[in-house]
Amino acid sequence: MITLYGIPNCDTVKKARTWLDQAGLDYQFHDFKKAGLDKGTVDLWLKQVSWEILVNKKGMTWRNLSDASKASVVSAATATTLMLENTSVIKRPVLCIKDQVLVGFDADLYKKSLNA
């Protein structure tokens, strides 16, 4: 089972979706703006990827947070709270392949991980 998490209007998510489509891979797209995101999913991601990778500190969402909000993100627990409250702060896309988690889009890594 392959699930791609993100938002449809994100350029990087669009690239990932195009790559998956061109590779002929069957996947489920989870729009976390519309469908939300639950703590269990984030906890599963955090078993494989650090919160420092999942929280996109280069994006506008992070930059628009108050200094106090930014300073409060110091652990997986506080990052999880932020990601659940504001999914736009998550680096996109997040690709889940069974129990493997890839963050961002890298065609070579996708190809290797998906044997495509």
Instruction: Kindly list the catalytic residues.
Output: 10
Which distant-in-sequence residues (6+ apart) come within 8 Å of 59 by Cβ?
88, 89, 91
Distances (CA, A) of 79 to 10, 47, 82, 89, 97: 21, 14, 5, 10, 23
Q: For residues 19 and 90, give the distance between their C-alpha atoms in angstroms, rounded to a whole number.
A: 21
